[in-house]
């Protein structure tokens, strides 16, 4: 149902991205992508702290059966992760100013709940259409929203990588949270900007609809991002709508 992949890219000396797909006690899934930034290896620290915190809290959680429980869990847990990162950045000089983006998704059969901070993205493939369901917390997106530049201008803007909101850089912060339905044949793509900066949406759609495994789709996307320069770390999760459990053959 899910495939997670992270790659250092071709230029960066180390990988500041982190993420994974985790199960709770009820075998319900949580997917996370985090893109760290700031200081010598401090981006690694920030993204790792967030992912480990979400993973630990998720393993302790009971099944979240409705969107309100899922949204409350995401908001509470991401806020507590923010406190951890901010506190460490204040207590350790080498970590001062560090932060990270975060995308976290809780999956249920009839809905997905998505929480995010920063410019890592979540795309939803449904009925042959690919939609970015998160709103980038970035300078260029603010310029697009205010009508100062076009989406095409944003793709080549010199300050394209400047984000306006990151986890761990402020004492208090809240994620944007979106819940929407999903159906059989739907897919989700979570990714850091190391992928989204290298791919247009129609290209992402083409890869996601290929008749190959999730693993092959993920590897092909990473390979293409690297072929196009690989200047940044590349991290993604691809998720399929859950298939029906097979019945007991003895029945």
pLDDT computed for residue 39 by the predictor: 56
Domains of the chain: 2-240 (3.60.40.10)
Query: 208: closest CA among 238, 230, 243, 183?
Result: 238
pLDDT computed for residue 250 by the predictor: 35
Which H/E stretch holds residue 88? Answer: helix 67-91
Strand, helix or coil for residue 184 = coil
pLDDT computed for residue 248 by the predictor: 37
Only one residue has tokens 């917390």, namely 137
Do the beta carbons of residue 105 and residue 31 sit within 8 Å? yes
CA atoms of 232 and 206, how far apart (whole Å): 22
Do the beta carbons of residue 121 and residue 132 sit within 8 Å? yes
Query: What residues does 206 pair with on adjacent strands?
Result: none
pLDDT computed for residue 8 by the predictor: 96
Going from the C-alpha of 49 to that of each of 2, 19, 90, the distances in angstroms are 22, 11, 14
Strands (E), the chain: 2-7, 17-23, 29-37, 99-100, 102-107, 112-117, 121-126, 129-132, 176-180, 187-191, 234-240
Phi and psi, residue 110, nearest 5° = -110, 0
The string of DSSP codes covering 205-221 is HHHHTSSS-HHHHHHHH
Do the beta carbons of residue 167 and residue 85 sit within 8 Å? yes
pLDDT computed for residue 251 by the predictor: 33
Q: Walk along the chain (251 residues) in steps of 10 and give the mean pLDDT of each run.
A: 97 95 96 86 92 97 92 98 96 91 96 97 97 92 79 73 90 96 96 95 96 97 97 97 57 33
Going from the C-alpha of 224 to that of each of 7, 8, 235, the distances in angstroms are 12, 14, 13
Strand, helix or coil for residue 123 = strand
CA atoms of 4 and 24, how far apart (whole Å): 17
Only one residue has tokens 């920063």, namely 118
At 222, list the tokens.
Answer: 């990473």
pLDDT computed for residue 141 by the predictor: 79
The string of DSSP codes covering 27-56 is --EEEEEEEEESSTTHHHHHHHHHHHHHHH
């Amino acid at each position: 149902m899910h495939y997670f992949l992270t790659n250092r890219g071709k230029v960066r000396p180390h990988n500041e991205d982190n993420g994974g797909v985790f199960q709770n006690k009820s075998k319900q899934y949580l997917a996370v992508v985090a893109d760290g930034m700031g200081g010598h290896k401090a981006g690694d620290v920030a993204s790792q702290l967030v992912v480990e915190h979400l993973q630990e809290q998720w393993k302790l959680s009971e099944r979240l059966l409705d969107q309100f429980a899922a949204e409350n869990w995401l908001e509470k847990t991401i806020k507590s992760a923010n406190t951890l990162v901010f506190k460490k950045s204040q207590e350790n000089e080498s970590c001062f100013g560090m932060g990270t983006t975060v995308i976290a998704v809780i999956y249920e059969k009839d809905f997905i709940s998505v929480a995010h901070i920063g410019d890592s993205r979540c795309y939803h493939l449904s009925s042959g259409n690919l939609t970015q369901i998160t709103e980038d917390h970035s300078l260029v997106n603010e310029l697009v929203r205010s009508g100062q530049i076009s989406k095409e201008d944003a793709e080549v803007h010199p300050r394209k990588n400047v984000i306006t909101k990151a986890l761990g850089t402020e004492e208090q912060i809240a994620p944007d949270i979106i819940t929407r339905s999903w159906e059989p044949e739907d897919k989700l793509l979570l990714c850091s900007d190391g992928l989204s900066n290298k791919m247009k949406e129609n290209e992402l759609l083409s890869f996601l609809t290929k008749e190959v495994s999730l693993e092959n789709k993920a590897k092909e996307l990473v390979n293409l991002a690297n072929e196009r320069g690989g200047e940044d770390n590349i991290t993604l999760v691809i998720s399929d709508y859950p298939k029906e459990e097979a019945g007991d053959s003895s029945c």
